[in-house]
Structure 1
Amino acid sequence: MGGDGTVLGVVIAVVGGICSVLVARISTPRERPAPPVAAVEADELPPPGLQVSPEIWQYVSRRFDRLEADVAHLTAVVETKKVEVSALERLLRQAMRIIRRANRRLAAVHEQPEEVPRELVPYSIE
């Protein structure tokens, strides 16, 4: 009675081993041959880099030209405004000197000096 159980166990083990080998062979990826490539001459190859249609390139070129013109204009405006700002600062410093000088004269004759506007205080030389 004891021999039937072991024979059945051996048969099940052999069938399981065969099945595991079959599953392993089926599930392994196979190498596929590369598709044939037609021979292309060097003249037919596209140049390396990004390919853009002429219409798109013209549109982008016009945009770049416009941006360069805008930058050149803004640069000129900034340079002009720098000159104007420096001239105005020079005038504000001169106004501050005049107010200080007038206040010293008023103090010399024992008069109440004029109040210096808060806006001119940063331009004080003293």
Structure 2
Amino acid sequence: MGGDGTVLGVVIAGVSVIGSVLVARISTPRPASDRPEPEEAPREGELRVSPAIWERFAVLEAKVDHLTAIVEEQKEKVGRLDRLLRTAMRIIRRANRRLVAAREVPEEIPRELIPYSID
């Protein structure tokens, strides 16, 4: 009876080895027939990228650089406009103080300038 368990173990081990070899053969990637073979096999850890992909990266990089320049330019414009609106608000408040001191009716402050009030 002891021999039956050993034979069964050997058979299971043999089937397991054959199964693992078949799985390894099936799961190994094969080169596509329409794709040319690479001239030189890449070394371990080396990544090969096609020139078309590098061209796309270059185009995207140029677009990002262009958009970055536009954003920086717009930030400068917004900063200048912000300073101008704050200056306009100061001028209106100063003029209104003078009008009140002269017992005149002060000018109404436009609603658009209220967020730029320093007070």
Structure 1 length as normaliser, TM-score?
0.61
Partner of 1:104: 97
Residue type at the aligned position of 1:116: I
Partner of 1:26: 8
C-alpha distance in 2 between matches for 1:100 and 1:114 = 9
Partner of 1:71: 64
- Given the superposition, is the C-alpha separation of residues 109 and 87 from structure 1 closer, same or farther in structure 2, using an over 3 Å criterion? same
The runs of 4+ residues in structure 1 deviating greater than 6 Å are none
Report the RMSD for the aligned CA atoms in angstroms: 2.7
C-alpha distance in 2 between matches for 1:26 and 1:85 = 82
1:36-51 mapped onto 2 (5 Å cutoff): 46-48=42-44, 49-51=46-48
- Deviation, structure 1 residue 84: 0.8
Residue type at the aligned position of 1:50: L
- Given the superposition, is the C-alpha separation of residues 51 and 73 from structure 1 closer, same or farther in structure 2, using an over 3 Å criterion? closer
1:62 has 2:58 as partner? no
1:122 has 2:108 as partner? no
Residue type at the aligned position of 2:111: R
Q: Give ranges in structure 1 of 5+ residues lacking alignment.
A: 1-17, 36-43
Structure 2 length as normaliser, TM-score?
0.64
- Given the superposition, is the C-alpha separation of residues 110 and 46 from structure 1 closer, same or farther in structure 2, using an over 3 Å criterion? closer
Structure with greater Cα Rg = 1
1:4-19 mapped onto 2 (5 Å cutoff): 18=1
- Given the superposition, is the C-alpha separation of residues 21 and 83 from structure 1 closer, same or farther in structure 2, using an over 3 Å criterion? same
Provide the aligned length of Structure 1 versus Structure 2. 94
Identity in percent: 51
- Deviation, structure 1 residue 65: 0.2
- Residues 29-83 of structure 1, C-alpha deviations (whole Å, 9 max, x = no match): 1496xx9xxxxxxxx865223345xxxx111011100111011101111121121
Residue type at the aligned position of 1:104: R
- Residues 102-123 of structure 1, C-alpha deviations (whole Å, 9 max, x = no match): 2112211223322222321222
